[in-house]
Chains A and B, each alone.
Chain A
Amino acid sequence: MATKLKEVDAVIVGLGWTGGILAKELAEAGLKVVALERGAMRSTDKDYAVPNIRDELRYVVRHDLMQNTARDTLTVRNNPTQEALPMRRLGSFLPGEVVGGSAVHWSGHTWRWTDMEFKVRSLYEERYGKSFVPADMTIQDWGITYAELEPYYDKFEYTAAVSGKAGNIKGQIQRGGNPYEAPRARDYPLPPLTPILASEMFTKAAENNGYHPFPRPSANASQAYTNPDGSKFGPCQYCGYCQRFGCEANAKGSPHITVIPIAMRNPNFELRTHSWVTKVLKDSDGKRVTGVTYTNVLNGEEFEQPAGMVLLCAYAINNVHLMLLSGIGQPYDPVAQTGVIGKNYCYQTGAGATLFFENRHFNPFMNAGGSNATIDDFNINWAFDRGPHGFVGGYNMAGGFNTVLPIGYRPVPRGTPQWGKEWKAATAKWYQTAMNIGASGSVMANRYNYYDLDPTYRNAFGQPLMRMTFDYKENEHKMGRHAAAAINAIAKSMNPTRLNEATARTDPWTVVPYQSTHNTGGTVMGTNSRDSAVNKYLQSWDCHNLFVVGANVFPHNASYNPTGPVGALAYWMAEAIKTRYVRAPGPLVPA
């Protein structure tokens, strides 16, 4: 029997970027807040320090900062006719499991998603007609606009120490920035990172081909920085150990050095680590939630934490899982096309080429998380006519490096033996003389890509695993072919000694190898309760004191990394709770 604890104003499930932002904001607004985090406390001083943090085997290969699949995982399949089987170890994506969450081990790429995403269905139908969007492509408008979110993007960028070059300040196009970005009120808080050779060469080649390269905006502090909350950042050391590592220099925008310590100094806030939330509790009429149950994973003891508000801030997949386990909202059914919980799971796609230059020295071990140059000419550039190519969405293309360490990265030209003297000689020759050009592509929602509860497999708490049904559809195959051709054209214009050409991805999605920790959808936001789980303030349509924040609210996935809008939406939601909800609890948007 669970021990019932004293009620608090708000309970936060998961303490990463979103939980950290809400913990700070709500505690400062005077609310009594408790955060329950399944992972342990880790700190820069003790855990992310040199030399031990410089360990590819431990952090990249053995997933030291990641969710432990022995305890909880998902089952996976490509379509509903297959039998889903458990993802027995991590591969394709890597949810974090420590205080700070995946925001400890991210690379810091921080984008502003625009109305091209938020109004995706309206814009495509307006321009290309209703029949351009395939019948099984369940994209929808998000119910929010870029203009509404702009101040919150700004707040997140200044909190997280984003380095970059503005491309559009209040409508004025800025040289050297991204000309396609939506207007911003002001520039990034920090200038761009120092370019590396690979990003310089890509920049030049992209310009020669008529495109518009710019340095990728990243929460890697290009200089020492103090953010508006007083959190201090050291300058990025270009150490080459960014993605999947905690930052020893405190140069990466992470909640464990910003919002979380501020919340922890506030007497209104309490953090309980090793606390695994198993269920969100509803009251008898199902109109409100009353708190959560959780297990102390150090001893198995169960607790009930009553709360006036429940904020789900776990990794995107785990937020959806908790909603399904708690029976909140109607589960999605792809056949009847009813229900919303689990709907519109999306991922990302990509293509990449490796270019070998006999007389160049790329020093691939010197880079920041965001050491690349990017073009958006095939992404948020609406002048890029999708009509002849027949796909919805887009891709950004980039040249550079991010965390390419030698267990995982030893490029050789195709056809090189995999072992022996010839392999060794090729590895020695090309490791420092190769660079990559890659594309990251959007994935549009599809009727048959979704989550539900697995009928067979269970986690360590005896609960059904989440079942993920996902594959790339023809829309993504078409985009992949376009991206591969565009990459290869730029690559060839650079005259490499050897080239491993990019190829379009048309095989089924697989759980190995690593692809991207950008899982989106499942509890999507929208304008009405029929086709979305939460309103524009990320408030549950079913239970008005339940908020769900994370990439799980995205109705589809763009080509960009998701953390920009995730952070902005957390601030946007915090503002709505502080200024409106606590004064008059109830639906913030009429159902």
Chain B
Amino acid sequence: MKDEGLGRRDFLKGAVVGGAAAATVSLPPNAEAQQGASPAAAPDAASPGYSFLNLEEAAFVEALVDHMVPADDLTPKGTDIGINIFIDRALAGGWGKGERLYMQGPWKLGLPSQGYQLPLTPAQLYRAGIEATNAHCRKSYGKPFDRLDDKQREDVLVALSSGKLSFDNGLPARVFWTTLYQTVMEGMFSDPIYGGNRNKAGWRLIGFPGAIAVHRENVEKYRDKKFPADPISISDMS
């Protein structure tokens, strides 16, 4: 158990290092003038710290997003594009606290066709799910998820996503996975204003132009041609 803590501290230390200046670049409305930025551009903000996740949860989320979104020549890794920060902020905010969620009992598991039925806010679900996943990892491998090697992490995620893993504490693993997966995708592809998709790395990956205002002339001009998008975010236009 000792080296677990050390590992997590190392992880956190690494995350704090290496932040460049935080200013986002304002782009002219004509994105064509700005094409060709490197998809693996350096992260543009220092790690801003966590508002909801505790040390163990932060280590889990960092390991998760770096495994699901590994660095290569298409994008930097998950923590370098802020997916962990997106998740932390989402859990700390209104959505995580169950805003818009009908929270009156009685509580029944129900059928899959009846949708989400747990008496948990998304933040509570995340917390309980990380605890249960780490318990499974400790039982199977003797260490928590963030200390597993790549192959072991992959096996855990495959088991979670395919419904093969069930938690000892009764939490429905598939419900946790659905939320986990959705938040990783949101952190990669939502506007950078929410802390993820840093430097618009998710949008650059696919060539999505972002918060662009008009395409009226582009429909004809770029029919069956690649639109040279240097993506624009809400903060670029604010």
Contact = CB atoms under 8 A, between A and B. Distances in A.
B208 to A, nearest CB: 5
B69 to A, nearest CB: 7
A424 B74 CA distance: 8
Contact of B219 (A82, A238, A406, A458): A238
A511 B224 contact: no
A228 to B, nearest CB: 25
Nearest to B234: A51
A57 B218 CA distance: 25
A407 B186 contact: yes
Interface residues of B, number: 66
Interface residues of A, number: 65
Contacts of A360: 224
B94 to A, nearest CB: 8
A426 to B, nearest CB: 11
B237 A51 contact: yes
Interface string B178-217: 0001001110011101100000001101111111111110
Given A61-B186, A86-B102, A510-B113, A419 B74 contact: no
A248 interface: yes
Contact of B206 (A61, A63, A410): A410
Name the prevailing secondary structure of the A interface residues.
Answer: loop
Given A360-B224, A363-B227, A419-B69, A240 B104 contact: no
A89 B116 contact: yes
Which of A68, A424, A431 has the most CB atoms of chain B within a 10 A radius of its CB? A424
B133 interface: no
A240 B112 CA distance: 32
B208 A406 contact: yes
A453 interface: no
A85 interface: yes
Interface string A399-440: 000000111001000000011110011011001100000000
Contacts of A1: none
B30 interface: no
Nearest to B229: A365
A508 interface: yes
Contacts of B236: 51
Given A239-B214, A363-B218, A406-B206, A458 B69 contact: no
A235 interface: yes
Interface string A177-208: 00000000000000000101100100000000
Interface in B31-83: 67-70, 72, 74-75
Contacts of B117: 85, 88
A124 interface: no
B100 interface: yes
Given A51-B238, A57-B186, A424-B75, 4 more contacts: A51-B234, A57-B190, A57-B191, A421-B70
24 contacts: A51-B232, A54-B211, A55-B234, A76-B115, A83-B108, A86-B102, A86-B104, A87-B102, A88-B102, A89-B102, A236-B216, A238-B215, A238-B216, A238-B218, A238-B219, A239-B212, A363-B226, A365-B212, A366-B215, A405-B208, A410-B189, A424-B69, A424-B70, A432-B206
User: 4 closest Cβ contacts across the A-B interface?
Assistant: A54-B211, A51-B237, A419-B68, A431-B206
